[in-house]
């Protein structure tokens, strides 16, 4: 679920200390505003802590979804609704389920009406605080800045190597990193060799 944690504390917005924020409202206009606010909060929280994915149900215990001082938490059903909205076109496609998608009662997060789990919220989802196309630009900037053009780099070197320590994409899920590199290849700026953990990438 996580990667290298930011040692600096995350500053929650004022509405995270507002009790009604932790219950999705039935009124459509109010609910739309809440969903948007929750989406923005989840994206900023994950970006701060460099979380590329969230695994449930353990993620429900994160301070993101609860305020111990208030004694309030966003119930699993409402978290489902928020994540489904984030995965929809309206929510910008910011969430995609990668574990449990083929099991009964678990959806892909592509529409607000989907049920992600009949008995509870389970599985793992990517949280795109940067989209794959945006990550591709970040990786390309790193390649240019560090003079890596023409060098064949392994997937491990890019995602976990010492040379990328401190970069935003360091620690990225291997599957997500492969998707990002695929964008770079489609742009004609890289070539991929091999497969799996032995994948090599040469940037142009």
Q: What is the pLDDT of residues 128-172, one digit of tens each?
A: 999 999 999 999 999 999 998 998 998 889 999 898 988 999 999
- Looking up residue 151, the CATH number of its domain turns out to be 1.10.10.10
Q: Is residue 107 part of a domain?
A: yes
For position 7, what pLDDT does the model report? 65
For position 117, what pLDDT does the model report? 40
Q: Is residue 91 part of a domain?
A: yes
Q: How many domains does the chain fold into?
A: 2
Count CB-CB contacts under 10 A for residue 155.
Answer: 22
- Looking up residue 31, the CATH number of its domain turns out to be 1.10.10.570
Q: Is residue 84 part of a domain?
A: yes
Residues 137 and 196 in one domain: yes
- C-alpha dihedral, 36 to 39 to 45 to 46, nearest 10°: -160
What band does 174 get if pLDDT is binned at 50, 70 and 90? confident
User: In whole numbers, what is the pLDDT of the chain averaged over residues?
Assistant: 85
Contact 19, 138 (CB under 8 A): no
For position 102, what pLDDT does the model report? 29
Residues 70 and 92 in one domain: yes
What band does 100 get if pLDDT is binned at 50, 70 and 90? low
Residue 2 has pLDDT above 90, yes or no: no
Residues 113 and 37 in one domain: yes
Residues 116 and 140 in one domain: no
For position 147, what pLDDT does the model report? 92
What is the distance between the alpha carbons of residues 62 and 16, in angstroms, rounded to a whole number? 13
The pTM (predicted TM-score) of the whole model is: 0.83
Terminal-to-terminal C-alpha distance of the chain: 32
Q: Which of 4-13, 17-26, 92-101 has the lowest mean pLDDT?
A: 4-13
Q: Is residue 52 part of a domain?
A: yes
Residues 97 and 191 in one domain: no
Residue 112 has pLDDT above 70, yes or no: no
Domain that holds residue 165: 132-203
Residues 26 and 109 in one domain: yes
The residues that bridge with 55 in the sheet, in sequence order, are: 124
Last residue of a domain, one of 127, 150, 185: 127
What band does 125 get if pLDDT is binned at 50, 70 and 90? very high
Residues 20 and 88 in one domain: yes
Residues 157 and 83 in one domain: no
Residues 28 and 106 in one domain: yes
Residue 62 has pLDDT above 70, yes or no: yes
- With H, G, I as helix, E, B as strand and everything else as coil, classify residue 180: helix
Residues 142 and 57 in one domain: no
What band does 5 get if pLDDT is binned at 50, 70 and 90? low
Residues 38 and 117 in one domain: yes
Residues 21 and 114 in one domain: yes
Q: Going by C-beta distance under 8 Å and a sequence separation of 6 or more, which residues neighbour residue 66?
A: 22, 60, 72, 73, 74
């Amino acid at each position: 679920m996580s990667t290298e944690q930011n040692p600096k504390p995350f500053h929650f917005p004022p509405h995270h200390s507002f009790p009604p924020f932790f219950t999705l409202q039935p009124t459509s206009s109010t609910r739309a505003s809440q969903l948007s606010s929750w989406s923005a909060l989840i994206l900023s929280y994950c970006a701060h802590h460099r979380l590329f994915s969230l695994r449930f149900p353990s993620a429900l215990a994160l301070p993101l979804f609860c305020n111990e001082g208030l004694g309030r938490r966003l119930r699993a059903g409402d978290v489902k609704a928020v994540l489904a909205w984030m995965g929809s076109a309206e929510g910008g496609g910011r969430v995609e389920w990668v574990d449990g998608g083929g099991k009964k009662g678990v959806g892909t997060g592509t529409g607000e009406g989907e049920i992600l789990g009949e008995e509870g919220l389970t599985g793992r989802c990517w949280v795109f605080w940067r989209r794959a196309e945006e990550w591709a630009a970040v990786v390309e900037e790193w390649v240019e800045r560090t003079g890596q053009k023409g060098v064949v780099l392994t997937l491990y070197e890019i995602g976990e190597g010492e040379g990328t320590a401190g970069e935003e994409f360091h620690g990225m899920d291997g599957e997500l990193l492969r998707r990002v590199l695929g964008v770079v290849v489609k742009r004609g700026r890289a070539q991929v060799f091999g497969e799996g953990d032995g994948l090599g990438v040469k940037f142009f």
